[in-house]
Structure 1
């Protein structure tokens, strides 16, 4: 089971804070550092220091880390044109020596679009489908060939399809969500990994099943998809430490035990085992208090070694 650190910088984090978390994650043996792609804080609270851009952040981290993989859960398709996104991700892949992964979603948070003058189209999912086709198509076009795409929302003609990412044929693509039909079908066609965010084991099992059905319908091998979950983390050596960490992120221990990975290291290992039994091989630990690096150390020292 891979453990990855997943951050939500829109809730309040500078680049320097993210760098300290990414470096700690690398030193402690986590598999990856991921971040959300949002420009506006969710909920009440101080919005300072303001947003950081996901791909500018990852470009910086690419040069300031050595081993850890880097990516997004999820880049909003509404924020970037697909050709530009393909260039950006390929460049950061090169800057990192081939450690980048692209999580791509439709975009959903209308208020952040309004706040920063970003169009919020009604046909977001149709645009996402075209974006996936274009980004992967550009990367997979052989060197020396050109790429064309004629869609409803995007048209490319005689694109040199450059630059190429370091990873071949392309960086891993992640798709996720809770949808019944369209999301699993897109994942079966384009994704290397399917992520179910903030869901119970029962819901995860059902959603994983939908993706497997979609893969079978496209005659894709069952073992060619990585299945993963994202869950908020709140781990403590005792109940008092769990309660302190829960209070720091404005949550209750009982609710976190029900809906996240919370409690003692033993409790968390047991719950991760239940997700593993469904076929999940990767957990994204949503770390909301980015000043608490001791939290990462505790998980690395007392949870990670028990996962095999």
Structure 2
């Protein structure tokens, strides 16, 4: 099982805060540093203000050395797909091929209203999302010297040189690895089966993990794709302590209750957390994204690296 660090900087973090976590995660041997892509906090005051995900990752591409970097998830409403393809390819080049693109349809109405970003209805958002997946992978997979065109309901491209290219070429669609996630019963599994290198489930229990993994596997088989080509992962909030007092302190610091976190996240002693991670592994999960909400508590990461990581 690979453990990755996942942060929510819209809740209040500077670039330097994120860099400190990324460098610590890199030194401790975590598989990747991911951040959300949001422009508005969801609780608290959000000070000093949100940051742009791909601007942040561009900086981290130069300020880190080995750790993989990515988004969970970039919203398809935020950027034109041609622009996003250029941004991600450039950051991949800047990092020496360490970038992964998690992308979703978008859901947080208030951040769109707050910053003047159009927010279509659910049907149109998923239509645009599907077109973006086809466009981005099409641009990356077009041979150098070729041209790419697309005529969709929402996006049209003509005579595109389809440049720049990412450093990475090993993804399912010929470029940066794509992460798709979500709980939808039909459209999400279909898109994951067609485009994803990794399927991720955020903040769900073991029963739903088994159900949704099964749906995606079936969708892959229906289009003739081997489901074992995908990487399977979960994201869960982290709250580990050496004893009950430390667990309670860390839960309080992020405004959560210990009992609730034990049910809905990865909370408790290292032994408890190892046991729960193994149960997700038995369901097919190969990566766990540890949602770290207190970015100042680097000892939290050190504890996981010392007492959890070696046992999973």
State whether structure 2 residue 6 is matched by structure 1 residue 26. no
Give, in angstroms, the shift of residue 234 of structure 1: 0.1
Counterpart position of 1:218: 223
Match of 1:163 in 2: 164
Aligned to 1:148: 149
Q: Deviations over 1:180-230 (max 9, x none)?
A: 000000000000000000000000000000000000100101210100000
The alignment's TM-score, normalised by the length of structure 1, stands at 0.99
* Residue 143 of structure 1: how far off its partner (Å): 0.6
Residues 1:292 and 2:293 are matched in the alignment: no
Q: Would you say 1:69 and 2:80 are equivalent positions? A: no
How far is 1:235 from its partner?
0.2
| Other-structure match for 2:39 | 39
Q: 1:250 aligns with which of 236, 249, 255?
A: 255
Q: What is the CA-CA distance between 1:47 and the residue it aligns to?
A: 2.1
Could you tell me which runs of 5 or more consecutive residues in structure 1 were left unpaired when the two chains were aligned.
none
Q: Tell me, what secondary structure is at the counterpart of 2:77? A: coil
Q: Any idea what SS the aligned residue of 2:290 has?
A: strand
Aligned residues: 306
**What does the per-residue CA deviation read over 1:72-128, in whole Å, with 9 as the maximum and x for residues that have no partner?**
000000000000000000000000000000000001101000101111112101000
Partners of 2:126 and 2:230 in 1: how far apart? Answer: 21
Matched with 1:189 is: 194
RMSD in angstroms over aligned alpha carbons? 0.5
* Deviating 4+ runs (over 3 angstroms): none
- The aligned counterpart of 1:236 is 241
Match of 1:180 in 2: 185
1:281 to 283, 286, 290: 286
Q: Report Cα offsets for 1:9-64 as digits up to 9, x if no partner.
A: 00000001000000000000000000000000002x22210010000000000000
Structure 2: tracts of 5 or more residues without a match: none
- Scaled by the length of structure 2, the TM-score of the pair is 0.98
SS of aligned partner of 2:236: strand
SS in 1 for 2:286: strand
Q: Residues of 2 paired with 1:186 and 1:5: CA distance?
A: 25
Provide the residue aligned with 1:57 in structure 2: 56
